[in-house]
Amino acid sequence: MGIRVHNLYCDADGNSHWRDIQIEWAQEGPEGKTSARLPATGIIFRQTRAEHDRPWHPAPRRQYIINLDAGVELTASDGAARVIGAGEIILVEDVAGRGHLSKSVNSQMRHSIFVPIE
């Protein structure tokens, strides 16, 4: 068993949906376990206002988002919503179609890391 990643993707009709993916462990040593190296093209640090409540929008690119200290509620265009907490990882791939809604949780400012993969 590896590490769970929330995945927000879009189907051929441009509708976004949720699924879970597992990043499997590739190595284990005295310090712990690691996955295989995955491609990435940079890193972006982000601070999101406590009042964040963004209307429908597609992701600007395929990217991992790692929440550091607060959560976010994301709603897929099929109506399914998830609260992604601090320390959790999202792979957003809904770069076309209607996209998703994004809203802060508990009116908290959020710090996150974006890791583009394209």
Q: Write down the domain spans for the chain.
A: 3-116
Q: What is the pLDDT of residues 98-111, one digit of tens each?
A: 999 999 999 999 99
Q: Which residue has the tokens 């690119």?
A: 61
CATH class of this structure's domain 3-116 = mainly beta
Cβ neighbors of 115 (< 8 A, separation 6 or more) are 40, 42, 43, 44, 63, 64, 65, 66
Distance CA 111, CA 45 (A): 7
Q: What is the pLDDT of residues 6-58, one digit of tens each?
A: 999 999 999 999 999 999 999 999 999 999 999 999 999 999 999 999 999 99
Whether the model pTM is above 0.85: yes
